[in-house]
Amino acid sequence: MAMTRLEKIADYDEKIAQIKNKQKAERQKHNREERTARTRRLCSRHGLLESMLPEIIPITDEQYKAFLEKAVTNDYGRDILNKIIAQDEKNGTSKAPTGETPQTETPTVKPTATDQNAANPPSGNAGGGATV
C-alpha cells in the first residue's frame, strides 16, 4: 500500500529522531572515553611524580601548586620539555598518551604570567633546586 505524503513526513521525522538519538549516544560515549583517558593519564603522571618525590605526599594543594610553579613553569622547565618533544619527534617516537590521538603539530610551551615570579633554574643539586 502506498504511503501518503503525511505518512512519509511522519516516517522521516521518526528516522531523524532515531539518528539524533544515535548521535547523542555516540557523543556521550566519546565524552566518557575522553574522561577515562584523562583520569588515567592524571593518575599515572601524578603517581610517577609521587614515586620520585615521596616528600610531596603530605603537602597541601596550595603547597603542591607553588612547588610546580617554581620547579616546572619557568624557562628552564619549558626548555627541557621542548627539547624532549623535539627529540621524540626527531626519533619518530612521539606518541600521544593512552586514549588520545597523536597531534600533527609540535606544541610549543609558551610562557605564562606566573613565569615572571618563577624560581631560577636548578643549580645542580639533587633536590631539583626548587624550594617551597
Whether residue 78 has pLDDT greater than 50: yes
Tell me, what's the pLDDT at 22? 98
Domain end point (choices 38, 58, 78): 58
Tell me, what's the pLDDT at 29? 98
Listed residue (83, 107, 109, 111) closest to 97, CA to CA: 107
- 19-59: pLDDT as tens digits: 999 999 999 999 999 999 999 999 999 999 999 999 999 99
For residues 2 and 42, state if they share a domain: yes
List the domain range (segments joined by +) for residue 67: 60-122
Whether residue 109 has pLDDT greater than 80: no
For residues 93 and 47, state if they share a domain: no
Number of domains, the chain: 2
